[in-house]
Structure 1
Amino acid sequence: MRAHTVPAPVFTALARARGGAPAVDLLRSGQLSKRMLMVRALRQAAHGHPDEGATVAVYRGLVELNRRDRAAWREVMLHPYLDEGLNRALIALDRGGPADLRWLEQLMVDPGRRAWQHVEAVCDGAALELRLADRGPFREAHGHELAEPLTPGQVREWTRALDAAWTVLARRHPWHAQTIAAGLTTVVPLLPHPDGTEVSSAARRAFGAVAASLPEDPVLLALTLVHEFLHVQLGALLDLLPLHGPPTEARYHAPWRPDPRPAGALLQGTYAHLGVTDFWRTELASGAGGERAGREYDTWREHTEAAARTLLASGELLPAGERFVTELREAVRRPARAEASHGSGGPHS
């Protein structure tokens, strides 16, 4: 297993929410290595445990799958909820409890996740392929109430909504479209908040997945995909490169929340809201967003830059984190007129 490094150009691109497919490829490679290490740790943790036999059988099944069908093995290892499932099994073994790995046995039988609904959207030659994960374990890691398994009518509704959102991204936000197409594999349908408010989430141990309730506005669904997939990217980057020190008791103001946040959570929120700022800046520059885009852009630019200043003054960032947030802040400051000249031409304009 090779060591992973983050080349300076990829680091800068990620910090500016412009990672694209090269950054996703790097992050995915890191996730694969992480999960391989977790599988090895699971085998070691089971030594002398009552569940050792069953755990070893699953371990050997993965080894055999890798030998027999490398593509299927990769699909199992990059399943969005494998990390969460392995982590729970490791905790259970450490506490002396049972490690139920039947979900992993089933996953090896069906790595293609045939129970999930396949969705494909195409706009101007740009394609998005993903699955609607409306059943299966560990989706509760997203922290919101899950929707019931989708009816055929609801699948059609989600498909239409994702197709419309993809058109927004492909035509007006090509950088984010490229990144999402490269790395987003799964959307988990959620129920809205009881008051009707739409909700969305990324889970720290669910690389490739986001969860969301279904908004009526395709622009807001496009924004949700951008916002939540930035959380996913930062989580994967943190697995490769620490950006802040160990948690402390200090808490910091986040302009978008009533409760003070630890530095790590503030970094996550600031990075995701760079995406929100960037999204509305591009909507404003394109002329598509009207007055709403101007209001949202002004609000989120101010909030995100304030949070970046707080992070830089916190003393909790490591040198890499200081570089990351400095680049992030520069990206926040990019004027809308610059987005108008660069934003619609795609990654290579």
Structure 2
Amino acid sequence: MDLDVNALLESGWSPTPFRQFVLKIHSRCNLACDYCYIYEMADQGWRSQPRRMSQSTMDSVATRIAEHARTNHLPRVEVILHGGEPLLAGADHIRYAVNAVRSAVDPDVSVNVQVQTNGVLVNSVFLELFDELDVFVAVSLDGDREANDRHRRGPAGQSSYDQVHAGLSKLTSAAFRRLFTGLLCTVDLRNDPVGTYEALLAHSPPTVDFLLPHGTWETPPPGRRVDSEDTPYGDWLIAVFDRWQGARERETRVRLFEEIIRLVRGRPSRSEVVGLSPVAVVVIETDGAIEQVDSLKSAYDGATRTPLHVGSHAFDAALMLPSIAARQIGERALSHECHSCEIRRVCGGGLYPHRYRPGTGFANPSVYCRDLFRLIKHVERAMSSRDRRPRFSDIARPAERQSPAMTLTPHLLPREMFLELAAGGGGRNAVEHLWTAQDSKRLLLLRGIRDLAKDDVSRVRHAYDLLADVQETAPEVARAVLRYPTVASWGLRTLHALSGHTPSVRWASATGMAALGAVAAIRSGRGETIEVPVVNGAVVLPSLGRALVPGGSRFAVVHTEDGEAEIHCGGVTIRVGADPLWEGLRRIRASHRGVEVEFVIDDLDPGRMLGASRTDGRLSEAELHQWVSTLQPAWEILLDRHRQVSEEIISLVTVLTPLLGPENGTSSATSKLAFGNIGLSTPPDPHSFAVTLAHESQHTKLSGLLDLIPLIEPDDGNRYYAPWRDDPRPLGGLLQGAYAHMSIAAFWGVERQEWHEEDLLLRAHTEFARWRDGTRGAIRALRSSGRLTAEGELFTATMADTMVAMCDEDVPPEATRRARVSADRHLAGWRHRNGEPLAGELPSLA
């Protein structure tokens, strides 16, 4: 394709900076794979290359990478040590190369280094070096012994399998497993697809890359007849896809499938194999020559070459070459046949070298065109049949979509479920319905933050894309990360700050999304390097804990691999979960009759319970023991006698936040911004713990319902008496209190029917009477306010019906007396502080 780059620039196109730098540190190999595009195909330029990249050339490469990152404001770059076989360069040479690049770039630029090896030379010397330098390792392997040795043999034809297997055993050992990024497997139609995939799974790879053997229209790949309608490679890959997708749990990531799924769902690709995203990779040969992606060597002699060299040219100069621009202009580079294809934005014309045909160059469909069409349509059908939960891609802007836009529909609550909630119940199904709405709310918050972020935009978008990727590949992990309560409180505060509605606070920053991305990467076991903000000398990873880092740094780098993570900041490395500078969140559990409940105790996150009097420091071990020892009998109470409440708590509440308690009694709270979190002071006894969980769960349910259905007209400024508060309440606050205290009355109504010691039994009768009558009075005030919506009228009428049955129950005289004294004392104190309540709101005590 003959391109006029200046005309492209005038049309508004701008080049995408290189982010991936492939360093050919050694140009020879210790294997003789017969499908190798470097040694066995059209371009034989390797013969004139130095065997090893010199240190002076490495210095020039490092300078150019640093220059490119600085000029283009890149927060991170990726360096891939390649060959030939890069380990032939030796450990000292590799150390020099890695240190040269990292020393050259600015301090705020992170450098992720990976080595691509055939695995034969992997040993403890290299692995200890890689562990020291944080160099990650990908290995080429084509399956079991028979599959691998079809092609991957030594110069004398000897098997390489045992040597590769030994290297992989060392790499995947406990000491070095964090360095393992995955396996590359070239497809051979003679190998059983499912058997090949399962042979690779035996090494527990984080990622598998299935590569189609390189070929062109002039030299087709094995088994691919250009005049045939057969789709042998598509069929082979479909067999693997069905096995991969059909697994009960995700066994590994398969990059090709994940990229197609992203594209089918309207997201851009991150791979040159499919999609239309700009290629941002450049190759540096051992002599310092700047070249295009080396797979082009399969097309024709000289296909990768440019007139540029790191000694005299910046990488920005390469971006202006027509041959590189052609790989960055997306759909405009496709052939006429591709333009008329329905899946062109997903397929992207296939891998660029596979399009080559003498006479027309790369302006052709892929030689694998039919195979790709069959595979993509199969994946598309499989995805359309999956459960459609809210997704990041559902809320993409139509202009950004590469597939037909989805029409979003509101969450609808069945009438029966609405009435069950109004009566104080609802059960697990209602709670999950509310959670699903919260999922959508959080996705919308994150999308808004991504779009409005003004500072550190690349970090924010990188984190957003990472979260989206995890949602596609490990949806349960993404759901757990996004359902952590502080995500909503941080998200709403941040969105308001970005919109200019509220002042910003330091922890409410768009870059906080990076911490969520890091948590998602850790929980999904994927390998990532991501920069996260440092707030008040700490890196907070929601749901996990925080690391105390050296002062003065704005960002730290989190590297994740296989469920583990390290935080690098100020020259210090902190292992998440296993370091004195790491403070992990603690969990408390209780189990009864085979039913377990578990809560995270969050005494670390700065946004855990806004507006409440939180504890300043962490719970001591003695205090934590009090929570644990009180939870067990409290859970037994709930499970034995309040079964529906216990089911709702399991589904609803994930986090408990310690609060400061008053001198006498306890305190508790929820926040509408932190769905799923309950704040409470240290519980003094099991019944207090149990009733607090029941009471605050009601608040949480109502907050979730109010996100779906307004029950009250906008605040008109009037304030009302609530028999449980010392301050006048807005009507919304009165509704929240009435709904929550309805559950308190119900709880004690059950407990007073049980055998208890005298003091506890009197307490149960008194609490029942006090909150039954107080709640009935509050509901009357709500219904006479004139400020309820039609749905609010129905909701409070159902609440009133629930209270009628309670009010018909007899209460022992002493309990009635105590309840009346308590109510009168509260009202008198309220009047003294606030004046006479509005008419019609006085409590009615039987």
Same fold (TM over 0.5): yes
Amino acid at match of 1:108: G
2:726 and 2:468 map into 1 onto residues whose CA distance is 48
Q: Tell me whether 1:241 sits opposite 2:709 in the alignment.
A: yes
Comparing 196-205 with 222-231, greater Cα deviation is found at 196-205
Amino acid at match of 2:477: A
Amino acid at match of 2:421: L
Q: Tell me whether 1:334 sits opposite 2:805 in the alignment.
A: yes
> RMSD value over aligned CA atoms?
2.1
Q: Which residue of 1 aligns with 2:484?
A: 79
User: Which of 620, 627, 645 pairs up with 1:151?
Assistant: 620
Equivalent residues of 1:120, 1:129 under 8 A apart = yes
Equivalent residues of 1:20, 1:182 under 8 A apart = no
For residues 138-188 of structure 1, the C-alpha deviation after alignment (integer angstroms, 9 at most, x for no partner) is: 024151122522333433321111112111111121121111112111111
Q: Which residue of 2 aligns with 1:292?
A: 763
Q: Which residue of 1 aligns with 2:668?
A: 200
2:710 and 2:747 map into 1 onto residues whose CA distance is 27
Cα–Cα, structure 1 residues 320 and 152, in superposed 2: closer, same or farther, change >3 Å?
same
Aligned residue pair count: 335
Q: Secondary structure at the match of 1:81?
A: helix
Q: Secondary structure at the match of 1:191?
A: coil
Alignment of 1:105-120 (within 5 A): 105-111=514-520, 113-114=543-544, 115-120=584-589
Q: Secondary structure at the match of 1:240?
A: coil
User: Which of 171, 177, 189 pairs up with 2:640?
Assistant: 171
Q: Which residue of 2 aligns with 1:7?
A: 414
1:34 and 1:135 map into 2 onto residues whose CA distance is 24
Higher relative contact order, chain-length normalized (CA < 8 Å, sep 6+): 1
1:311 and 1:228 map into 2 onto residues whose CA distance is 20
What's the offset of the Cα at 1:220? 0.7
Comparing 288-297 with 264-273, greater Cα deviation is found at 288-297
Amino acid at match of 1:6: L
Q: Secondary structure at the match of 2:636?
A: helix
Cα–Cα, structure 1 residues 24 and 245, in superposed 2: closer, same or farther, change >3 Å?
same
Unpaired segments of 5 or more residues in structure 1? 339-349
Equivalent residues of 1:31, 1:236 under 8 A apart = yes
1:161 and 1:106 map into 2 onto residues whose CA distance is 33
Unpaired segments of 5 or more residues in structure 2? 1-407, 524-542, 545-583, 810-846
Alignment of 1:267-286 (within 5 A): 267-286=735-754
Equivalent residues of 1:301, 1:333 under 8 A apart = no
Q: Which residue of 2 aligns with 1:27?
A: 434
Q: Which residue of 1 aligns with 2:606?
A: 137
Q: Secondary structure at the match of 1:130?
A: strand
Cα–Cα, structure 1 residues 317 and 291, in superposed 2: closer, same or farther, change >3 Å?
same
Q: Tell me whether 1:318 sits opposite 2:318 in the alignment.
A: no
Amino acid at match of 1:50: D
Q: Which residue of 2 aligns with 1:228?
A: 696
1:196 and 1:303 map into 2 onto residues whose CA distance is 21
What's the offset of the Cα at 1:118? 2.0
Equivalent residues of 1:146, 1:189 under 8 A apart = yes
Q: Secondary structure at the match of 1:122?
A: strand
2:744 and 2:616 map into 1 onto residues whose CA distance is 25
Q: Which residue of 2 aligns with 1:345?
A: none
Q: Which residue of 1 aligns with 2:679?
A: 211
Amino acid at match of 1:329: A
Cα–Cα, structure 1 residues 156 and 258, in superposed 2: closer, same or farther, change >3 Å?
closer
Q: Secondary structure at the match of 1:243?
A: coil
Q: Which residue of 2 aligns with 1:261?
A: 729
1:142 and 1:209 map into 2 onto residues whose CA distance is 13
Equivalent residues of 2:699, 2:739 under 8 A apart = yes
Equivalent residues of 2:485, 2:608 under 8 A apart = no
Amino acid at match of 2:729: R
Equivalent residues of 1:80, 1:207 under 8 A apart = yes
2:511 and 2:630 map into 1 onto residues whose CA distance is 34
Amino acid at match of 1:243: L
Amino acid at match of 2:678: V
Comparing 122-131 with 150-159, greater Cα deviation is found at 150-159
Equivalent residues of 1:227, 1:273 under 8 A apart = yes
Q: Which residue of 2 aligns with 1:40?
A: 447
Q: Secondary structure at the match of 1:322?
A: helix
Equivalent residues of 1:142, 1:202 under 8 A apart = no
Amino acid at match of 2:745: T
Equivalent residues of 1:266, 1:307 under 8 A apart = yes
Amino acid at match of 2:721: H
What's the offset of the Cα at 1:75? 1.4
Cα–Cα, structure 1 residues 2 and 286, in superposed 2: closer, same or farther, change >3 Å?
farther
Identity among equivalent positions (%) equals 32
What's the offset of the Cα at 1:91? 1.8
Equivalent residues of 1:284, 1:336 under 8 A apart = no
Equivalent residues of 2:773, 2:807 under 8 A apart = no
1:147 and 1:330 map into 2 onto residues whose CA distance is 43
Equivalent residues of 1:202, 1:211 under 8 A apart = yes
Q: Secondary structure at the match of 1:59?
A: helix
Equivalent residues of 2:614, 2:658 under 8 A apart = no
Q: Secondary structure at the match of 1:139?
A: coil
What's the offset of the Cα at 1:102? 4.5
Equivalent residues of 2:603, 2:617 under 8 A apart = yes
Q: Which residue of 1 aligns with 2:780?
A: 309
Comparing 13-22 with 232-241, greater Cα deviation is found at 13-22
Q: Secondary structure at the match of 1:188?
A: strand
1:236 and 1:73 map into 2 onto residues whose CA distance is 20
Comparing 228-237 with 62-71, greater Cα deviation is found at 62-71
Amino acid at match of 2:518: V
For residues 268-322 of structure 1, the C-alpha deviation after alignment (integer angstroms, 9 at most, x for no partner) is: 0110110111111111123445111111111111100000000000011101111
For residues 167-225 of structure 1, the C-alpha deviation after alignment (integer angstroms, 9 at most, x for no partner) is: 111112112111111211111112212x2432111011111110111122110110111
2:619 and 2:470 map into 1 onto residues whose CA distance is 31
For residues 83-138 of structure 1, the C-alpha deviation after alignment (integer angstroms, 9 at most, x for no partner) is: 11011111221229686244432233225623221222111233212211121220
Amino acid at match of 1:235: S
Amino acid at match of 2:414: P
Amino acid at match of 1:204: K
What's the offset of the Cα at 1:333? 2.2
The TM-score, its normalising length taken from structure 2, stands at 0.38
1:312 and 1:181 map into 2 onto residues whose CA distance is 32
Q: Which residue of 2 aligns with 1:65?
A: 470
